[in-house]
Structure 1
Amino acid sequence: MIVDLNSRYGLNPAHSEVVEACKIIEPCDTLDMGCSNGRNAVYLGQLGFNVTAIDNNPGAIDMLQSVIIEEKMKNIKAHVYDINNANLGEDYGFIACTVTLMFTDPARVDTIISDMHKRTLAGGYNLIVCAMSTEEYPCPVRFPFTLKAGQLREAYDGWELIKYNENVGTMHNGAKLQFATILAQKPV
C-alpha cells in the first residue's frame, strides 16, 4: 500500500497525466523535468521508479531533498538544473515534463525537446503537458512560451502517440486555458 507522502509533506497530488502514464509504463530510470518541490518525483519513487528530479529553483530542490532524506527514498536524486541548457547527459526510459515548458526560453524549446528525444531510450516514453495559445483560446497568462495548435504533435513525428490532445480546461481563477498533452513512445 502506498502512503500518501504528497499529502504528508504538503505537496500537491501527482499530476493526473503522470498517474495515468504509470498505468502503462513499468518502473524504470525516469526524469522529472521541472520537478518543483517534487509532487511527481515522490509519487514515482513510491511506485519503484528510479527518479532524477531537476528544477532551477534551489528552494524547491531543498524541500524535495528533505522529503527524500526523511523517507529514506534512495531511488530519487534531486538537483538544481536549468532545463534551458538542454544537455541532459543521461538516458531514461521515461521523461515527464508537466506544466514546465511554458516557463522556458522560447528560443530553446525545440532544442529542449530534441534533447529529450535523444535522451529517451528506445521504447521509452515522453510525457509533456504545456499551455497553448490559439486563436480560439488565447492564453490569459503571460507565460514566456506557449504551444501553437499541432506544434507538439509535429515535434513527435515518427513516435507512437499513446495519447495526444489539445483540450481546454478551467483554471482555479475561472480563466479558460488550453493545454497540449502528449504521451509518446520512442520507436525501438
Structure 2
Amino acid sequence: MTTDLNSRHGLNPAHSEVVEACKIIEPGKALDMGCSNGRNALYLSQLGFEVTAVDNNPGAINMLQKIVSEEGINNVEPQVYDINKAELNADYGFIACTVTLMFLDPARVEAVLADMQAHTQPGGYNLIVCAMNTPAHPCPMPFPFTLEEGQLRDNYKGWELVKYNEDVGTMHNGAQLQFATLLARKPA
C-alpha cells in the first residue's frame, strides 16, 4: 500500500532506514526533517504516525500538500521550515533526518542536532543518515557538510544506540560514498 501511494505520485519509496526503524518504533508524533516531496512522511502516515513534514523548499512542500489534499490524508502536516534555524517548537517520539544534514550550513549542524535531541520525547528516537568524508572514502559530492568518523556517534552520548554504522553506500545517482547511520533512543 505504501509503495503504491508513493509511486502513484512519482515519489521514490520511503528510505530503507525509515522502513527498518518503523519495525521497532510505535506510531506517535513524528517529524520528517528535510522531507522533500514527502516519500518518508507519506510512509509514516500510512503506519499511523502523526507527521510534521518540514523542508526549506516551498515547491516540495506545495507538492506534498497537494498529495495530502488529493488523498484526503489527515495526519501529515507539511510546513516550510529552515532546518538551519534549529528552532523546533514541538516534541516528537520519532525524528527522521535522512540524507538532509549534508545540505545544511556546516556552522549550524551542531545546533540542529542539539535541537533535535531537545525536542525528542523521553524514550523517543532519532534516525539520521548523513554522508561522510573520510581519508578512506573521500566524499565525491560537493556537499556543504559531511560527517567525520565517529562525529555523529559522539553527538549522541547518553542515548541508547539502537543502530550505528559508518558503511559505504550508493546514492540515487550511483555515486559511492560513506554514510553514518544512527538510530538512537533517548533515555526515558
**Band of TM-score, shorter chain:** over 0.9
SS in 2 for 1:140: coil
Find the counterpart in structure 1 of residue 136 from structure 2.
136
2:92 match: 92
Alpha-carbon shift at residue 172 of structure 1 (Å): 4.8
Residue in structure 2 matched with residue 185 of structure 1 by the alignment: 185
Q: Percent identical across equivalent pairs? A: 71
Structure 2 match to 1:18 = 18
1:98-177 pair list within 5 angstroms = 98-177=98-177
Which runs of structure 2 are paired with 1:12-91 in the superposition (5 Å)? 12-91=12-91
Q: Are the structure 2 counterparts of residues 4 and 184 from structure 1 closer, same or farther at C-alpha, using a change threshold of 3 Å? A: same
Q: How far off its partner does 1:176 sit?
A: 2.1
Deviation at 1:169, TM superposition (A): 1.5
Counterpart AA for 2:53:
A
Q: Deviating runs (4+, > 4 A) in structure 1?
A: none
Structure 2 Cα separation of the partners of residues 2 and 42 of structure 1:
8
Distance 2:173 2:69 in 1: 35
For the Cα contact (< 8 Å) 2:31–2:53, is it kept in 1? yes
Shift of 1:146: 0.1
For the residues of structure 2 that align with 1:9 and 1:148, how far apart are their CA atoms? 36
- Alpha-carbon spacing, 1:128–1:66, altered in 2? closer, same or farther (3 Å): same
Q: Which runs of 5+ in 2 are unaligned?
A: none
- Measured in 2, the distance between the counterparts of 1:131 and 1:63 equals 26
TM-score (normalizing by structure 1): 0.97
Output one character per residue of 1:72-130: Cα deviation in whole Å (capped at 9) or x when no partner: 11100001000000010100000000000000000000000000000000000000000
Change (3 A) 1:20 1:63: same
Unaligned runs of at least 5 residues, structure 1: none
The alpha-carbon deviation at position 173 of structure 1 amounts to: 4.7
Structure 2 contact 2–42 (Cα < 8 Å) conserved: no
Residues in 1 aligned to 2:95 and 2:183: alpha-carbon distance in whole angstroms:
10
Q: CA RMSD in A?
A: 1.1
User: What CA distance in whole angstroms lies between the structure 1 residues aligned with 2:112 and 2:128?
Assistant: 12
Contact 2:3–2:13, Cα closer than 8 Å, also in 1: no
